[in-house]
Chains A and B, each alone.
Chain A
Amino acid sequence: MSAFLEIRNLSARLRDTGERVLRSVSLEVPVGAVQGLVGESGAGKSMIGRAVLGVLPKAVEIVEGEILLEGRDLLKAKPSERRRLIGTRTALIPQDPLTALNPSRRIGPQITDRLVDILGWEKARATARAAEILAEVDIPQPERVMRLYPHELSGGMRQRILIASAFAAEPKLIVADEPTTALDVTVQKQILHLISQMQARHGTALLFVTHDLGVVAKICDSLSVLYAGKVVEETTVQKFFAAPQHPYSAALLAATPRHTDAGASLEPVPRAVLDAVSAEIAADDASWRRHG
């Protein structure tokens, strides 16, 4: 399988302080595969997703690396070409459904806008497509929902709508940035199931960002473990859960509750492991500085 998305040696830093937030990150998402991106809060998971989608915060700048979409480097493309590639081939399922829909626009146009403005569809066709895809994510009465404003819907409903919106244009790659973190525990399972189901049905490649290894086990094919902006391990889900290679990954796994032994005591990531991985990163930074 060829990679649909390939990130090579991507480094980014804060403009003001020069602090590195991504450290020579490389990862691949094959066509139709589900790639997990795991790490603790602040590890830089969202940063990678945003870099792929061309929406890094202005405070962050990319210093080196390539982001190849179907072999074309997004970082070297003209801004208009990059927007076109990202808009037509990728989509985002955001983290917080309560803030990801525009409060002053009705639901319908927020789904059809890309189809009409970016993909150039007829309005009627886009509206029909929106209704169809909303029905597919189990939204009752799609035509009625499309006329509502976001505040008239629950968080779970809004996340379903955002998922539908992401799949509406049949993108080749979807970035899902912790798509269940902001939801009620009861709704989380349903949404996860829905994403997994939609991914399989549409054959979309998925870059799935999460801090939860339990979720990775459920829906990913392979995963990258991120610590302080550095990929410390990249492997398949099978191999990872059988025997994680990096001490940090092993500690992370030990800190994750499993369904089999629910209630068993969880060990936090040990101090020694954190010190070791931090030292590894410091050495990495030092050699990077010598070269750069």
Chain B
Amino acid sequence: MQFARVACLRLLTTLITLIGVAVIVFIVVRVVPGNPIAMMLPPGATDADIERLKALYGLDKSIPQQFLIWFANVLHGDFGTSITTRQPVLGLVLGRLPATLELSIMALVMAVLLGGTLAVLGTRLRRTRAEAGIDIANGIGMSVPDFLWGLLLIVLFGVLWPVFQISGRVTPRLELPFTSQFYLFESILRLRFDLTRDLIGHMFMPALALALPLAAIIAQLLKQSLKETVNLDYAVLARTKGYPETSVILAEALPNAVLPTLTLIGVQFTFLIGGTVIVERLFSYEGLGNMAIDAVINRDLPLIQGIVILFALLFTLVNLAVDMTYAFLNPRLRHA
């Protein structure tokens, strides 16, 4: 029962991680300067008013006490009420999650396709000037951060040559027949490709901005491991069978070369999700990241906590997915 033991261990470490994150966030948002009460009250409110509001939100108790109350509620599925909107945190956060998930996954797909293509192309053209060109492009892709790519894209494709939308998730005047927040996914399922186009027109630039640094990292690492793999004996044997170089790279080398890259993609994808916070803000994309910035500006403590916990949960799930894919792709582990 090797698998069951590994799974239990995994679940346990996930829980401990989440609780750790919760404790840290809880303390940090309470010790940094600025408090929500001061921002809610009109100038000239009395001390009594302040105390009353503090009591209302439970902020009059000590931090450990507050945490225990919050934690007990969380165990019942109650993440508290947003101070600014007065709506349940869970509903708010889950309402925004699909937008961020769609953006991150689209960015990941773009990064994998772009990075993979560059890696294969670079391997095919190894020891030529074109490979040096690809290396330079990768170097640039990696050293420019996602939000700068975002600004650059806005200037290029939003202003100088306006082919993509620079703001929002969808054109506001459109009638949306959706029942979930997974707009893109649902538009495809409902065969409303007019809406799919509009959604992609909005998502393209923020997704590309998030994707470019990751694409460059994937391209570089995968190319390096492809270049080692194409000289291995089984690749040479395939060439003697009459296969052209591109087939050898794709059919023989690629399946073996992706494994080391996969682990890296897992780690980097969590960075990408983190990057949505600023990039969503830049493109006024209505996702979790944008909401997080508003929550921080307004010192909306329950909302910040809810968002951070959700991000932490996302990260651990991504890592879990990577480990499972790794085991699935590696025949040696699959049969172990």
Contact = CB atoms under 8 A, between A and B. Distances in A.
B255 interface: yes
A88 B242 contact: yes
A101 B335 contact: no
B270 to A, nearest CB: 27
B264 interface: no
Interface string B224-247: 000000011110111111111001
A99 B242 contact: no
Contacts, number: 74
Binding site of B, secondary structure by majority: helix, strand, loop or mixed? helix
Nearest to B127: A58
Contact of B256 (A90, A104, A117, A149): A104
Contacts of A212: none
B22 to A, nearest CB: 41
Nearest to B241: A114
Contact of A91 (B236, B240, B331): B240
B76 interface: no
Interface residues of A, number: 33
Contacts of B241: 87, 91, 113-114, 118
A83 B242 contact: yes
Given A58-B127, A102-B256, A94 B242 contact: no
Interface string A75-113: 000011001101110111011100111111100000001
A92 B237 contact: yes
B332 interface: yes
Contacts of A202: none
B256 A151 contact: no
Interface stretch (A49-57, A245-253, A254-262): A49-57
B244 to A, nearest CB: 6
B242 A84 contact: yes
Contacts of A19: none
Contacts of B280: none
A96 B233 contact: yes
**B233, B242, B244, B256 pick with most chain A CB within 10 angstroms:** B242
Contact of B243 (A53, A83, A94): A83
B252 interface: yes
Nearest to A118: B242
A20 to B, nearest CB: 21
A92 B240 CA distance: 7
A49 to B, nearest CB: 10
Contacts of B242: 83-84, 86-88, 114, 117-118
A184 interface: no
Nearest to A106: B331
**A57, A79, A102, A113 pick with most chain B CB within 10 angstroms:** A102
**A84, A90, A105 pick with most chain B CB within 10 angstroms:** A105
Contacts of A94: 233, 236-237
Interface string A105-140: 100000001100110000000000000000000000
**B238, B329, B335 pick with most chain A CB within 10 angstroms:** B238
Nearest to B252: A102
A94 B252 CA distance: 16
A50 B233 CA distance: 12
Contact of A90 (B236, B240, B247, B255): B240
Interface in A47-80: 50, 53-55, 57-58, 79-80
A57 B231 contact: yes
Contacts of B233: 94-96, 99-100
Interface in B63-90: none
Contact of A149 (B238, B247, B331): B331
Nearest to A96: B233
7 contacts: A57-B231, A87-B240, A96-B233, A99-B232, A104-B331, A114-B241, A117-B247
Given A94-B233, A102-B255, 14 more contacts: A50-B236, A53-B239, A55-B239, A83-B239, A83-B244, A84-B242, A87-B240, A91-B241, A96-B233, A100-B233, A103-B234, A105-B255, A114-B242, A117-B247
Interface of A: 50, 53-55, 57-58, 79-80, 83-84, 86-88, 90-92, 94-96, 99-105, 113-114, 117-118, 149, 151-152
